[in-house]
């Protein structure tokens, strides 16, 4: 049977026919070039040697590491043959005998140029580069498609947790409606510590830096850039559309206070930095649409949020990551594991490497970009969720009525109000029903103008109903 339905059927194969694939080439190695030899790269290089026998059996041919592009070739990297090091990455990826290229340099350039050169020369590429994929994934996909080569990137999101293949393949027959992830270990470690110790952001960040959980320049993590890149990748895959990092609404955790965390605790919640990708609800006026997923917009955002302690994501502690997926048929799924680190990331890289190597042995190519749905990305102002607000208020009669009036004027419905303290210490804690970001922002602006409101001390989204 062929892929052309009108072609004559192939005869049944009753006995062991010769198997396609280069069985007679099983000793000919696939040649691997490695770009970058930091924490992840050196672990990949080490495992390629240490697990060579198993990797060969799994691929069907040996994997031979033929070069490692580094900036400092003379730096000591125990267990790795120094003869492999080169500073000329461009020459390495243009070598005619390289079948597979692993990119673990990170950043936009020179990573993009190197990957494009590798693909143009027909090599398949495995990358952990979330920033590049989130900024310019379409260019990489197109280059891979042109070259009929593979582009795999399991390590780009949530470290060792298999989430890219499940979205690209396992759930590809389903309609995913939401993906909510804790995808940045540094911020999860910090928020977890703040929750446990009651400490503030600044001192907890310093502690995380001392322990090696946060970098000297923590901006990419604590300002949510890292999570935003991952959110763009997850949303693109889940919703068959293109979402770039620039499309992602982003707030970091630097403004989260110990009082926010205490407020969360008081309503049975915990504060997490969430990457949230949502498909908008179907248009109720279009009930006859046979495929309700088309023409629906997506929202993609990264921000701290309160979630109930009973939510599966609430118990994800320390530097662990987890991704919670909701879909029409499968229901609610969760994927949990270590989100970073040399060994876990190397595991994801090597899983991809074996897959693309097997594809090459069989003359096959894995899935390419699926962006047929081409959905609009909703502006954050239109995105609805619940909100938690803390207000310091004057101790005068009728204060609650005046505040409630402001919410009503902006069409924001209040779910609960709690008054803490009395007199000069009085504060109000308000949790709303779902409201748009625009309506909530307008409400907060009006509240700040009210003479009975001394301060709006905290505004935070509440997710995971």
Task: Compute the CA torsion angle 349, 350, 351, 357 (nearest 10 deg).
Answer: 110
Residues 6-45 that bind a copy of itself (CB under 8 A): 6, 8-10, 12-17, 19-20, 22, 25, 28-31, 43
3-state SS track over the chain = CCCCCCCCCCCCCCCCCCCCCCHHHCCCCEEEEEECCCHHHHHHHHHHHHCHHHHHHHHCCCEEEEEEECCCCCCCCCCCCHHHEECCHHHHHCCCCCCEEEECCCCCCCHHHHHHHHHHCCCEEEECCHHHHHHHHHHHHHHHHHHCCCEECHHHCCCCCCCHHHHHHHCCCCCEEEEEEECCHHHHHHHHHHHHHCCCHHHHHHHHHHCCCCCCCCHHHHCCHHHHHHHHHHHHHHHCCCCCHHHCEECCCCCCCHHHHHHHHHCCEEEEEEEEEEECCCCCCCCCCCCCCCCCCEEEEEEEEEEECCCCCCCCCCCEEEEEEEECCCEEEEEEEECCCHHHHHHHHHHHHHHHHHHHHCCCCCCCCCCCCCCCECCHHHCEEEEEEEEEECCCCCHHHHHHHHHHHCCCCEEEEEEECCHHHCEEEEEECCEEHHHHHHHHHHHHHCCCEEEEEEEEEECCC
Told to check if 171 binds a copy of itself by CB under 8 A, we report: yes
The span of 158-166, 196-204, 248-256, 279-287 binding a copy of itself (CB under 8 A) equals 158-166
> Residue 13 or residue 397: which is nearer to a copy of itself going by CB?
13
Told to check if 223 binds a copy of itself by CB under 8 A, we report: no
Q: What x/- string results for residues 86 through 115 when contact with a copy of itself is judged by CB under 8 A? A: ----------xxxx----------------
Shortest CB 219 distance to a copy of itself, Å: 27
> Residue 287 or residue 372: which is nearer to a copy of itself going by CB?
372
Question: Among 257, 297, 343, 446, which residue sits at the site for a copy of itself (rule: CB under 8 A)?
Answer: 343
Told to check if 327 binds a copy of itself by CB under 8 A, we report: yes
> Residue 168 or residue 250: which is nearer to a copy of itself going by CB?
168
> Residue 36 or residue 339: which is nearer to a copy of itself going by CB?
339
Told to check if 178 binds a copy of itself by CB under 8 A, we report: no
For residue 109, what are the CA distances in angstroms to 112, 116, 226?
Answer: 5, 11, 17
Told to check if 315 binds a copy of itself by CB under 8 A, we report: yes
Q: Which residue among 130, 193, 230, 272 is the active-site one?
A: 230
Told to check if 296 binds a copy of itself by CB under 8 A, we report: no
> Residue 1 or residue 397: which is nearer to a copy of itself going by CB?
1
The count of chain residues that interact with a copy of itself, using the rule CB under 8 A, is 104
The span of 188-196, 257-265, 338-346, 423-431 binding a copy of itself (CB under 8 A) equals 338-346
Q: What x/- string results for residues 52 through 81 when contact with a copy of itself is judged by CB under 8 A? A: xxxx-xx-----------------------
> Residue 184 or residue 355: which is nearer to a copy of itself going by CB?
355
Told to judge if 230 belongs to the known catalytic residues of this protein, a careful annotator would answer yes
Residues 249-288 that bind a copy of itself (CB under 8 A): none
Residues 116-135 that bind a copy of itself (CB under 8 A): 117, 120-123
Shortest CB 101 distance to a copy of itself, Å: 11
**What is the spatial distance between Cα 78 and Cα 67, in angstroms, rounded to a whole number?**
16
The span of 105-113, 171-179, 215-223, 300-308 binding a copy of itself (CB under 8 A) equals 171-179
The span of 244-252, 297-305, 321-329, 436-444 binding a copy of itself (CB under 8 A) equals 321-329
Residues 420-459 that bind a copy of itself (CB under 8 A): none
Token pair, residue 263, equals: 């407020």
Phi, psi of 456 (to 5 degrees): -100, 105
Told to check if 335 binds a copy of itself by CB under 8 A, we report: yes
Told to check if 240 binds a copy of itself by CB under 8 A, we report: yes
> Residue 129 or residue 327: which is nearer to a copy of itself going by CB?
327
Return the active site residues: 230
């Amino acid at each position: 049977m062929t892929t052309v339905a009108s072609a004559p059927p192939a005869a049944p194969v009753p006995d062991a026919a010769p198997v396609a694939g280069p069985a007679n080439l099983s000793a000919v190695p696939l040649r691997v070039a490695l770009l970058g030899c930091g924490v992840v790269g050196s672990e990949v290089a080490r495992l390629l040697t240490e697990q060579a026998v198993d990797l060969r059996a799994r691929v069907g041919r040996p994997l031979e590491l033929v070069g490692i592009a580094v900036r400092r070739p003379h730096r000591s990297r125990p267990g790795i043959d120094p003869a492999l090091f080169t500073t000329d990455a461009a020459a390495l990826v243009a070598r005619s005998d390289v079948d597979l290229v692993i990119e673990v340099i990170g950043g936009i350039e020179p990573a993009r140029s190197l990957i494009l050169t590798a693909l143009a020369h027909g090599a398949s590429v495995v990358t952990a580069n979330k920033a590049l994929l989130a900024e310019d994934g379409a260019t990489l996909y197109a280059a891979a498609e042109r070259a009929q080569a593979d582009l795999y990137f399991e390590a780009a999101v949530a470290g060792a947790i298999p989430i890219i293949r499940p979205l690209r393949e396992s759930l590809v027959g389903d309609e995913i409606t939401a993906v909510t992830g804790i995808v940045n270990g540094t911020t999860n470690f910090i928020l977890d510590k703040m929750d446990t110790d009651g400490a503030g952001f600044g001192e907890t960040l310093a502690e995380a830096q001392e322990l090696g959980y946060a970098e000297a320049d923590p901006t990419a993590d604590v300002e949510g850039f890292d999570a935003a890149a991952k959110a763009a990748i997850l949303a693109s895959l889940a919703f068959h559309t293109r979402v770039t990092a620039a499309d992602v609404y982003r707030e970091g955790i630097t403004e989260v206070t110990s009082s926010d965390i205490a407020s969360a605790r008081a309503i049975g919640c915990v504060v997490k930095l969430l990457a949230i990708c949502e498909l908008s609800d179907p248009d109720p006026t279009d009930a006859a649409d046979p495929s309700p997923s088309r023409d629906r917009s997506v929202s993609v955002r990264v921000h701290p949020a309160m979630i109930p302690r009973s939510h599966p994501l609430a118990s994800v502690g320390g530097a662990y990551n987890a991704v919670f997926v909701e879909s029409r048929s499968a229901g609610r799924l969760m994927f949990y594991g270590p989100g970073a680190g040399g060994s876990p990331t190397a595991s994801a890289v090597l899983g991809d490497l074996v897959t693309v190597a097997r594809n090459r042995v069989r003359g096959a190519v894995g899935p390419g970009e699926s962006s047929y749905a081409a959905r609009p990305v909703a502006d954050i102002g239109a995105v609805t969720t619940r909100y938690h607000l803390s207000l310091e208020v004057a101790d005068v009669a009728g204060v609650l009525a005046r505040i409630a009036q402001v919410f009503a004027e902006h069409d924001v419905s209040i779910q609960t109000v709690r008054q803490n303290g009395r007199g000069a210490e009085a504060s109000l804690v308000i949790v709303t029903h779902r409201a748009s970001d625009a309506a909530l922002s307008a409400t907060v602006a009006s509240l700040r103008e009210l003479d009975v409101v001394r301060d709006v001390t905290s505004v935070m989204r509440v997710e995971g109903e």
